[in-house]
Structure formats: structure tokens, C-alpha cells
DNA sequence: TAGAAAATAGATATCGTTGTCAAAGAATGT
DNA sequence: ACATTCTTTGACAACGATATCTATTTTCTA
């Protein structure tokens, strides 16, 4: 049927073990032997049997993505990035949905990893914010790579984003457009990003000596509905802001709806800014100005880091921070 | 380390092979023996080693999802449904992105399946519309389950939706709201759904003796931009329709933007209807009336069908059609 | 240049299952 | 009662890799 190591070894006239050495990039193989074997591998179109490798070496060549109810578009981008690395390195990706409220989550994940002999995990928000969970994974000797960790001490493998700086810069941009009365809608407190984004906003406000008006600073939970409710609150206050910065696009769309229903013209009377650049941001009218994290690249890097732990990728891959891009669309306008 | 069949067999005082028989639900095991073994399995917390099973039985316990640039939210739902079945049955899901324009696609997929010993595939649009591709897969003896096939003859395993009927019914609903001048935006011709949806619309129009106005029937490609362009065309014609039905939500949002920019009030002067119920449908203002396929359930069923082929699930699972739901939101209003 | 150390290559056991085949026991037919 | 078939069970090989350990060759050191 399919080509095995044995076929390769007789074709190249070496031992089975030597072929194995070449496959696994082990040292102590003479250059001439190595190339001879590689030629045979290519000629015969050999690919190692994953099950056999896995059975013997106790590695599955599977990594898992842990997630809990993320934005669908975010999840798709994350997967996309990871898959690019998997394809190159011969790993497979398994998806594992989690419930972060489950008290027993760490145990069930540890079981999952041991059952399937999962080589490593990639963890995304909000699970990446759960210190206790990450601690237990580490304690069980599980490898994982974190995307936007709240606390970098739990793994040496992570990719972070500059949420604080990006929000600060976007706030500066709003201010540079002449806005002095700016509202803010916070995200779900469970996500560490919520605090980073709020801090970026409030520090910019302070640094430019603008007013902190707590009638316009509303707690949301990243949902469209919470954005809408925030809008209702803000627009029922005595004075209205001229711009509102929401911690994500869904809430921004919610605020926009609330404003439009009250005939507050966006962007002429009110500028609105979101965060994340989801597909919705382009499809609402007026289109949303927003902040775009390079999610695909971040996921790609996180996967490289993790797989590099096992395969020792030659390419230099270290944990690093990615910069977000500020996207100005119709919803943010200069104040006349 | 972990518990093996051998441990179970000595604990239950039977042979290794008998334990294997129990695990695989083979017949010709005495009831007493079976329950004795099951008890030992439970007591010791044994789970079979996937790699060993796979190596020996030539099955990978992996199924793959084939997709090409679908809507992100659709993809997420599809995955969600499949994963529910995988979790129960112990299969894993691998994602495989394809390029339907690639001339060599069928060969590369056949290689992929053979390399990874993939047990079966789940195919979604637009790949599910490519007769030649499906034919070649079948010819290579690959099992697959199709979601919304254009041609049911290629696999006995499929789930379909009632796109034609749903569009017909939604058109009836629009008509029942008093609309007589109704525009339509077609989807990408590569997707068989595009034709089904258009036929549902046009037949309803004809059955109710309404005017077919080809100034208002525009070819789109499912993108937001194409919807916007369609709107521009429609609104530049001499007479305007009072309702527009777009073949998906993105295009509906595009039309809506075009209308709003021209100060055509939605829904007071123009009703707009979409298809798919993506997250955007709720987040635009006014919110989109749309048609919702039970995507998660469809994917779940497709996965059951496929895995049932291998494991002979007891539950009755046959290919079937799922009914879509008509969702009325703010964008569709009775004509005064 | 002898002797030690390092590099290279191979023989064989092994991972944890399932497949094959044979054997023993139970049920059936005549 | 005996031959025949069916049911139930087990012994052992096999799947296709990697690990361990040993043997040989090359390189280095004094």
C-alpha cells in the first residue's frame, strides 16, 4: 500500500534507524548518507505514518485550541493563523470549547490532554486571563502558548498586543479631531483587555486635560445589547458627548443604533469608534472607525512558539508584542 | 503510566483480545463477560490509545472539514455542530482550507486524505457545488458528507436546506406586507444556493402576478460591496422598488448603506430583507429581517451521518432536509 | 602512533492496539 | 449418540515507527 521506512531503507541501502534519524533531523548522520536518504524519500514519496510515530514516541502531533465563546470572526482568524503553521509543520489542530465558569475546568482539560496525548495548547481570551487555570496547567506539565495573556509570568510562550497603547493612540486621534467631550464604554471585566483599553483611554483623557465625565463612562459586557443600553444611558444625561469610544465593535454598533433611533446624526453630531475590526464594522452605516489587531499573525506566531518547543524550529521565534492598526472610517469626523 | 488493555484483561481475568472485542462492540461476546470487562474498564479508568488503534486498524478517527473562504460566522457554526458529534464519538476534526479555483484540488485533497488516513470529509459550499470534484473524491473511494449539495446524486450522505421554499415564503411575507415593487439581488453564480434563492423569489413574484422589473434584479457576488453597487444601480433607475430582497445579509447591508446615503428611509420608504442571519443582521440599524438556516443542527447531522458510516451509530440517521426560519426585524415594514 | 573519544550506523526490542486463526464448548439436527 | 454448526475465547503475529544498546569507523590528543 503506502511507502514505509523499510522501503526507503532498502532503496537507500541503509538501516531503518538511519532513515528514522534523517526524518527526525537528528545529528550524527553523515551528510552523504543524509542526502542519499532524502533522495530516496523524495523518489518514493514517503511520508511517516503519524500513528506509528505517535504510538512509539508518545507524541500526538496534535495541538489544541482552547476557547470560550469568542467572537466568531476572531475565532476564525485565530484558527486561520494556527492552521498555516500546522500545515507547514505537519501538526494537526483540534478545537476544544471550554466553559470558563466551570469550576472543574482545569481537571477536565488535563484529562483531555492526557487522553489524546495532546502535545500542547494555545489559549485565547478570556481563558488566558485565568491565572489559576494557567497555573494548574503548568503544574500538570502541559505546554501552552498564550494569546494576549493578562499575566506574562505563567508561560514563556505568549504573544501580546498593545491594547493600552492602541487605545491611547486612538483616543489621541479622536482628540486631534477636536473632540473634548468623549464617552467610553467598557468591556466585560473578566477580560483583561477591558482594563487595558479603559486605562489607555482614561490616561489619554487625563494627559490632554479633558473632562472625566462618569455619566459617559459606562460598564458594558462586549455585547451589542450592552452597547445599546450604554447609549440609552449616555443620551439620557443632561449633556451629550461629541464622541464615544466603545471597547469593541459590537458595543459601538449598539451605541450607534441608540443614537440613530434618537435622531442624533452620526458622525455629524456624534462620532463613534469601536475596537477589533469585525466584519460588522464595515457593514454598518456609517462604517466604524476601529482598532485592528493583527489577529492572524498573532495566532501564527503563537503556534510557531508552541511547535518550536517540540521541533526546535530553526527560525528565531520569541514571545513578542504585536502592534495594532488604527483604522479611520466614516464614523469618526472632525468636530466643526 | 496509563492504563492499557493488558491491565484491564488481567483485572477482568480474560484475554486481551476479549477486552478489545468489548471496546469495539463486537458481537459474540457473552453478556456476562462483557459486563465483567466493562466493569474493569470503568474501575481502572481505561481509555484506548488512539495511536495504537489507528496504527493497527488503519483508521485515524479523524474527519476533515473542507471549506473555501466561507462567511466566518457560518464556518464557526458549522464547526460547532460537527464538534458536538466529535466529542461524543471520540473523533477529531481537522480543518482543511481549499481553493476551489485550483485545477488540481481533487488530487491534493486525495493526497491529504491518504497521508493523514482521514476517515471521511464534510464538504460545505461552494465546494459542495463542484460536481467534478465530488465525483473524483467518490472515485477515490473517499467517504464524505455534503452540506447543501447542488446535486444529490454524488453522495447518499447529505443535509440540505429548503432555500427555494424559504425564499418563496419570505417573498410571500414581503408581498403580504403590501409590497408590489420588489427588487432582488442575486448571489455568486458559483453557489447553487444563488439560483435556488432567485427561483424562489421569481416564482413567488410570478405566482402573485407582480411585475418582474429587471432594473431591480441585479447580479451580486455575496459581498457587501456588490450589495452597495446593486443599490446604486437600483436607485438610479427611473422608479424605485418599495422592498429589496438580497440573497445574503452582507449584500442587504450594502443596499441599506446605499439607500441611507441617498436619504431613502429604511424601512419607511424601503424595506430590506437579507438571508443567513449573520451577526451583522442584528447589529445594523434598522436590524435586518432575514432567513436563518439551522446551520449548527445541519452540521451536527452531517457529522452524524458520516461517522455513522464508520461506527454504525444505532440512532436512526438518514440524509434529510432542514427547514429555515423566517425572522422579521425592523427592516421589513408594512407598506402604508 | 597508540589510545581515547566522538561520530556514524545497525540489530533488535518495543509502543498498545487489532487481525488471523485455531480451539474449546454449546447448541442443533438426524 | 454422533456429526455438524455456531458461539465464545485466546495465542500470537502484525501495524510502522522510535529507543536502546552495541559495533564499527573516524577524529583527536598526548
- Per-residue model confidence as pLDDT tens digits over A174-186: 999 999 999 999 9
| CA to C1' distance (Å), from A53 to D18 | 7
Asked if strand C contacts A160 at the CB level, meaning under 7 A, the answer is: no
Which domains are present in chain A?
A: 5-46 (1.10.260.40), 58-161+295-322 (3.40.50.2300), 163-293 (3.40.50.2300)
Q: Are B294 and B138 in contact (CB under 8 A)?
A: no
| CA to C1' distance (Å), from B20 to C24 | 20
Q: How far is CA B89 from the centre of its chain?
A: 20
Q: Which of B13, B1, B60 is nearest to B39 (CA)?
A: B13
Please say if the pLDDT value at position A315 is more than 70.
no
For cell 483508521, what's the residue?
Answer: B59
Q: Angle at Cα B25 formed by Cα B24 and Cα B31, nearest 5°? A: 135
Report helix angle A31-44 to A5-12, nearest 10: 120
| CA to C1' distance (Å), from A28 to D27 | 14
Instruction: Provide, as residue numbers in chain A, all residues whose Cβ is less than 8 Å from the Cβ of B51.
Output: 50-52, 54-55, 60, 117
**In Å, what is the CA distance from A16 to each residue of A19, A43, A231, B45?**
5, 17, 69, 36
Q: What DSSP state is assigned to residue A288?
A: P
Which portions of chain B are predicted below pLDDT 70? 1, 312-316
CA distance B17 to chain A (A): 19
Beta bridge partners of B271: B243
CB under 8 Å to A237, separation ≥6 — which residues? A215, A216
Q: What is the pTM of this model?
A: 0.90
Give the model confidence (pLDDT) of B9-34 as tens digits: 999 999 999 999 999 988 889 999 99
Question: Between B52, B80, B92, which is nearest A94 by CB?
Answer: B92
Predicted confidence at residue A312, as pLDDT, reads 65
Question: Can you tell me the mean pLDDT for A220-241?
Answer: 97
CA-based nearest residue in chain A for residue B77: A72
pLDDT band at A314 (very low <50, low <70, confident <90, very high): low
For cell 545529528, what's the residue?
Answer: A27
Predicted confidence at residue B153, as pLDDT, reads 79
The verdict on a CB contact (< 8 Å) between A94 and B97 is no
Predicted confidence at residue B282, as pLDDT, reads 96
Q: Are B124 and B65 in contact (CB under 8 A)?
A: yes
CB under 8 Å to B147, separation ≥6 — which residues? B78, B122, B123, B124, B125, B128, B158, B159, B298, B299, B302
Beta bridge partners of A320: A159
Q: If interface means Cβ-Cβ distance under 8 Å, which residues of chain A face chain B?
A: 2, 47, 49-52, 54-55, 60, 62, 72-73, 75-77, 79-80, 83, 92-95, 97, 114-117, 224, 250, 253-254, 256-257, 260-261, 278-280, 282-285, 287
Q: Are B95 and A83 in contact (CB under 8 A)?
A: yes
| CA to C1' distance (Å), from A1 to D18 | 22
Q: What DSSP state is assigned to residue A4?
A: -
Instruction: Provide, as residue numbers in chain B, all residues whose Cβ is less than 8 Å from the Cβ of A72.
Output: 72-73, 75-77, 279
A-to-B residue pairs, Cβ atoms closer than 8 angstroms? 109
Beta bridge partners of A95: A65
CA-based nearest residue in chain A for residue B71: A73
For cell 408581498, what's the residue?
Answer: B175
Instruction: Provide, as residue numbers in chain B, all residues whose Cβ is less than 8 Å from the Cβ of A285.
Output: 253, 256-257, 260-261, 284
The verdict on a CB contact (< 8 Å) between B51 and A62 is no
Q: How many CB atoms lie within 10 A of CB A141?
A: 8
Predicted confidence at residue A61, as pLDDT, reads 87
CA distance A259 to chain B (A): 10
Q: CA-CA distance, A278 to B253, in Å (whole number)?
A: 14
* SS3 track for chain B: CCCCHHHHHHHHCCCHHHHHHHHCCCCCCCHHHHHHHHHHHHHHCCCCCHHHHHHHHCCCCEEEEEECCCCHHHHHHHHHHHHHHHHHHCCEEEEEECCCCCCCHHHHHHHHHHHHCCCEEEECCCHHHCHHHHHHHHHCCCCEEEECCCCHHHCCCEEEECHHHHHHHHHHHHHHCCCCCEEEEECCCCCHHHHHHHHHHHHHHHHCCCCCCCCCEEECCCCHHHHHHHHHHHHCCCCCCCEEEECCHHHHHHHHHHHHHCCCCCCCCCEEECCCCCHHHHHCCCCCEEEECCHHHHHHHHHHHHHHHHHCCCCCCCCEEECCEEECCCCCCCCC
The verdict on a CB contact (< 8 Å) between B95 and A79 is yes
For cell 455568486, what's the residue?
Answer: B188
Question: Between A94, A97, A260, which is nearest B285 by CB?
Answer: A260
Q: Are B218 and B186 in contact (CB under 8 A)?
A: yes
Give the CA-trace dihedral at A186, A190, A193, A199, to 10 degrees.
50
Q: CA-CA distance, A283 to B313, in Å (whole number)?
A: 43
Give the model confidence (pLDDT) of A31-64 as tens digits: 999 999 999 999 999 999 989 999 999 888 889 9
Asked if strand D contacts A2 at the CB level, meaning under 7 A, the answer is: yes
Phi and psi at A314, nearest 5°, equal -70, -40
CA distance A279 to chain B (A): 8
Q: How many CB atoms lie within 10 A of CB A301?
A: 23
| CA to C1' distance (Å), from A268 to D6 | 87
Between A312 and B260, where is the model more confident?
Answer: B260
Asked if strand C contacts B16 at the CB level, meaning under 7 A, the answer is: yes
Residues A309, A313, A318, A323, CA torsion sign: negative
Q: How far is CA B288 from the centre of its chain?
A: 21
Grid coordinates given for B89:
464519538
Instruction: Provide, as residue numbers in chain B, all residues whose Cβ is less than 8 Å from the Cβ of A67.
Output: none
CA-based nearest residue in chain B for residue A114: B2
The verdict on a CB contact (< 8 Å) between A285 and B284 is yes
Asked if strand D contacts A23 at the CB level, meaning under 7 A, the answer is: yes
Amino acid at each position: 500500500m503506502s511507502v514505509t521506512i523499510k522501503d526507503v531503507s532498502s532503496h537507500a541501502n541503509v538501516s531503518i534507524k538511519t532513515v528514522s534519524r534523517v526524518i527526525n533531523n537528528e545529528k550524527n548522520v553523515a551528510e552523504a548518507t543524509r542526502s542519499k536518504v532524502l533522495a530516496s524519500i523524495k523518489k518514493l514519496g514517503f511520508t511517516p505514518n503519524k500513528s506509528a510515530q505517535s504510538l512509539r514516541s508518545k507524541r500526538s502531533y496534535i495541538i489544541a485550541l482552547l476557547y470560550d465563546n469568542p467572537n466568531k470572526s476572531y475565532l476564525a482568524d485565530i484558527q486561520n493563523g494556527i492552521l498555516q503553521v500546522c500545515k507547514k509543520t505537519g501538526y494537526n489542530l483540534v478545537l476544544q470549547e471550554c466553559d470558563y465558569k466551570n469550576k472543574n475546568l482545569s481537571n477536565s482539560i488535563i484529562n483531555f490532554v492526557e487522553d489524546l496525548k495532546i502535545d500542547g495548547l494555545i489559549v485565547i481570551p478570556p481563558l488566558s486571563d485565568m491565572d489559576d487555570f494557567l497555573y494548574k496547567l503548568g503544574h500538570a506539565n502541559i505546554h501552552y502558548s498564550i494569546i494576549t495573556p493578562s499575566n506574562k509570568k505563567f508561560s514563556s510562550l505568549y504573544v501580546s498586543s498593545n491594547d493600552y497603547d492602541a487605545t491611547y493612540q486612538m483616543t489621541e486621534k479622536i482628540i486631534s479631531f477636536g473632540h473634548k467631550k468623549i464617552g467610553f464604554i467598557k468591556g466585560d471585566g473578566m477580560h483583561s483587555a477591558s482594563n487595558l483599553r479603559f486605562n489607555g483611554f482614561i490616561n489619554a483623557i487625563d494627559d490632554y486635560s479633558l473632562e472625566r465625565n462618569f455619566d459617559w463612562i459606562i460598564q458594558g459586557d462586549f455585547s451589542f445589547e450592552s452597547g445599546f443600553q450604554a447609549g440609552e444611558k449616555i443620551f439620557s444625561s443632561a449633556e451629550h458627548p461629541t464622541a464615544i469610544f466603545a471597547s469593541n465593535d459590537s458595543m459601538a454598533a449598539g451605541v450607534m443604533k441608540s443614537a440613530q433611533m434618537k435622531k442624533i446624526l452620526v458622525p455629524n453630531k456624534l462620532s463613534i469608534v469601536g475596537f477589533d475590526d469585525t466584519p460588522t464594522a464595515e457593514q454598518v452605516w456609517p462604517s466604524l472607525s476601529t482598532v485592528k489587531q493583527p489577529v492572524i499573525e498573532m495566532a501564527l506566531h503563537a503556534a510557531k512558539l508552541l511547535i518550536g518547543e517540540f521541533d526546535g524550529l530553526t527560525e528565531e521565534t520569541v514571545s513578542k508584542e504585536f502592534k495594532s492598526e488604527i483604522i479611520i472610517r466614516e464614523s469618526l469626523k472632525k468636530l466643526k
